[in-house]
Amino acid sequence: MHLNPYGADAVNLAADLANRRPSSPGELADRCRAAGLAVPGAVTPEDLDRAHRALTAWEKVVDAADEPERAALLNGMLEEIAAFPRLTDHAGDGWHLHYRDEGRPFGDQLCSLMAVGTALHLAGRGMHRLRRCAVSECATVFADTSRTGRQRYCSPRCANRDAVRRHRARHTG
C-alpha cells in the first residue's frame, strides 16, 4: 500500500512526526507503517537523521511569516529532493506516481513524500491550511483539512480550553 500524496495522509504524517519526533529507526518505521506507508525492510540511523533534517525544514514551512515565504521554503525542499513524477507498479499492487528517483534510501523517500504531499495539500486546499494550534502554550502542528478551512485548534480539547479561558476573561475582566 502506498500513500497518495494528493490526499491528506502525507501531510498528516509529516505533522505527526514533527509533533512527536521519532527517537529510533524502528519507531520511524513503525509510525510510517501505521500511517499506511510502504516501508522497506530495514530503516537505518541515516534514514532517521535524514527524516529529522527534513522535519526541521518542514517546520520552517509551517512557521513561515507569509505565503510567498512559505512557498519559497517548500520549493527549496522540493528542489532538493523531488524528481519528475513517474508511474510505477514496483510492488505489483497497483500503478501510482512516485515523485522521486528510484532506489533512493527510505529517508529520502520520506522527505520527498512530505514535501510533495504538503505542496499538493497547500496548492489544492489553500496556502494557509498548515499551522500551529491557536492555544499559545500548545505548539502542535496540524494540516487543516476541514470543509471551511478555518480550523484554529489542534484538537477539541484545545478548542474547549480556549473557550473556557475566553469566557473567564470576559467575566473577570
Query: 119 with 78: CB under 8 angstroms?
Result: yes
- Per CB under 5 A, which region of 53-61, 64-72, 110-118, 155-163 contacts Zn ion? 155-163
Q: Which residue lies nearer to Zn ion by CB, 36 or 76?
A: 36
- Give every CB contact of residue 108 below 8 A, 6+ residues apart in sequence: 50, 81, 100
From candidates 4, 44, 75, 140, binder to Zn ion by CB under 5 A: 140
CB of 33 to Zn ion, least distance (A): 14
**Segment (H or E) for 166:** helix 156-172
From candidates 8, 14, 48, 158, binder to Zn ion by CB under 5 A: 158
From candidates 114, 133, 141, 143, binder to Zn ion by CB under 5 A: 133
From candidates 64, 71, 127, 138, binder to Zn ion by CB under 5 A: 138
CB of 111 to Zn ion, least distance (A): 15
**The three three-digit cell numbers of residue 148, written as one number:** 471551511
Q: Which residue lies nearer to Zn ion by CB, 2 or 52?
A: 2
Q: Which residue lies nearer to Zn ion by CB, 90 or 167?
A: 90
The residue type of 43 is V
Q: Which residue lies nearer to Zn ion by CB, 69 or 166?
A: 166
- What letters, b where the CB count within 10 A reaches 16 and e where it falls short, cover 33-51? eebebebeeebeeebbebb
Query: 24 with 48: CB under 8 angstroms?
Result: yes
What is the sign of the dihedral through the CA atoms of 27, 21, 39 and 25? negative
Q: Per CB under 5 A, which of residues 9..68 are in contact with Zn ion?
A: none
DSSP bridge partners of 86: 98
Q: Per CB under 5 A, which of residues 64..123 are in contact with Zn ion?
A: none
Residues lying near Zn ion in the complex (CB under 5 A) are found at: 2, 133, 135, 138, 140, 154, 158
